[in-house]
Amino acid sequence: MRFGREGFTLRAPARAEVLEASPIPALSDPRAAVREALERPLGAPPFRQIVRGKRPRRVAITISDFTRPVPNELLVGALLDALNAEGVADAQATVLIATGMHRPSTPREREEMLGAVLKRCAVVDHVASDASSLVKVSDDPPVSVNRLFLEADLKVVTGLIEPHFMAGYSGGRKGICPGLVDLATVQRFHGYRIMGDPRAENGILEGNPCHAESLRVARLVGCDFLLNAAIAHDRRPAGIWGGGMEAAHAAGCAQVGAWNGVRLDGLYDLVVTNGGGYPLDATYYQTVKGMCAALPALRERSTLLSASGCGEGVGSPEFTATMARWGRDWRGFLKHIEGSGVTVKDQWQFQMQTRVLERIGVERLLLATDGLPPETQAGLGVTPLPGAGPAPERVQRFLDEFSARRPDARIALIPEGPYAMLVAPEAVAAD
């Protein structure tokens, strides 16, 4: 099971089902795959041809923030090399960390994300609340975007394509919106009505209002070249797609969907999942993704147990405050955000969690973590997994006891947590 940096192993009863996709083959030569994506892109001319045509003085390259395990050094290093080959120096490029509304990166995180690239060009965190770093590109509705990106002569977006519990898939347009936009735009992107739409879901792009809003803003801002990656279960690069923002992203999503889809033949009484491992499970905020990803496997009286590191706490100060106020009253929270007309930073994550709570209730949503005290967990709309010892031991004990107590129960384990894209039984029947 993914958990922190190391993960842990569960001994499952023989009748338990492991819900995981087939192994994703890692690329034998990732550098060659990146060169191929730059030289033979989808929906765009070769990257070097674009550079020759633009003769850029300033280049902006976006990367995802630290919560995504993107092979940034591989992607950005290849882009810089290709720029150098056309006479564009490293000093003319800026790497923009598309934080959206996440916190700025630390020096250690930058080192982990970019390695040797740090010594080649400037690296800047996007700050959605810093009006001086933004330029308005639309009045109705108002949208502002990072000035360094907008005013660059060559705009390149990188990122990771993986299942996303709101936007269908990550990557592509999300490197611009919400990655590089202003606070109000991020809040609108995550507003109550968009998050409340049932099509704002894992693996869905068609009709997904979250995807549509992100794409609308990204088209408005513009992107000259997209370079996205997908990773295998061991996080080695598995696929690289380059080219036009929409064409390359669509091709990557199709492949990632085929890799990560897990077709269910029924529902389960107990599902054991996780927060995705480090760096995703560093906070409770991100842990919600694994909970929502398990929804297709749950019936009304199912139990969902999620194991997550949460070593960095609950999440942002705003999310922490939201949970402190509403975590014990999720129904009141939904009524409040529906009527308030105001979107508070990170409230959308709890709104997504309420999808799980509407299905199974707080008492059946269990959290196993060593990163948060039980009294804090109890205010997060979950039931802390009781018992002594580290979280993996408590998960094993609960699994053993549940299996012994309910010998006929259907039990499922999701080793990849939020990275597994479950296809509900009714969807299987409709195929």
Average pLDDT over residues 174-195: 89
Confidence class of residue 427 from pLDDT cuts 50, 70 and 90?
A: low
pLDDT band at 411 (very low <50, low <70, confident <90, very high): very high
- 162 neighbors 169 (Cβ within 8 angstroms): yes
Q: What is the pLDDT of residue 426?
A: 66
Go through 122-149 and write b for each residue having 16 or more CB atoms within 10 A of its CB, e for each that does not.
ebbbbbbeeeebbbebeeeeebbbbebb
Residue 431, pLDDT > 60, answer no
pLDDT for residue 206: 95
The structure's pTM equals 0.84
Flag the least confident range among 194-203, 232-241, 327-336, 404-413.
194-203
Among the ranges given (82-86, 191-195, 321-325), the one the predictor scored with the smallest mean pLDDT: 191-195
Give the model's confidence band at 48: pLDDT under 50 very low, under 70 low, under 90 confident, else very high. very high
Contact 175, 62 (CB under 8 A): yes
- Sheet arrangement for strand 411-413: 17-18, 411-413, 268-274, 298-307, 365-368, 383-384
Q: What is the pLDDT of residues 17-29, one digit of tens each?
A: 999 988 999 999 9
pLDDT-based confidence at residue 359 (cuts at 50, 70, 90):
very high
Q: Name the amino acid, one letter, at 390.
A: P
pLDDT at residue 430 greater than cutoff 70: no
The whole-angstrom separation of Cα 399 and Cα 57 is 59
| The pLDDT value given to residue 102 | 81
Q: Note whether 30-259 and 264-430 share their fold.
A: no
Mean pLDDT of 389-415: 97
Angle of the 47-54 helix axis to the 30-39 helix axis, nearest 10: 50
Least confident window among 33-37, 200-204, 423-427: 423-427
* Per-residue model confidence as pLDDT tens digits over 49-104: 999 999 999 999 999 998 888 999 999 999 999 999 999 999 999 999 999 878 88
Residue 173 has pLDDT above 80, yes or no: yes
261, with CB counted inside 10 A (0-12, 13-18, 19+), is: middle
Q: What is the pLDDT of residue 162?
A: 92
Q: Return the pLDDT at 77.
A: 98
Q: Report the relative pairing of strands 142-146 and 134-139 from DSSP bridges.
A: antiparallel
Domain ranges (residues) in the chain: 30-259, 264-430
Is residue 390 very low, low, confident or very high in pLDDT (cuts 50, 70, 90)?
very high
Domain 264-430 architecture: Alpha-Beta Complex (3.90)
pLDDT in tens, 49-58: 999 999 999 9
In the chain, the amino acid numbered 61 is: I
Mean pLDDT of the chain: 94
CATH architecture observed for domain 30-259: 3-Layer(aba) Sandwich (3.40)
Q: Is the pLDDT of residue 429 over 50?
A: no
Residue 258 corresponds to which tokens in the numbers above? 């085929």
pLDDT on residue 189: 81
Could you tell me which of 219, 139, 113 has the C-alpha nearest to residue 176? 219
Is the predicted pLDDT of residue 31 greater than 90, yes or no? yes
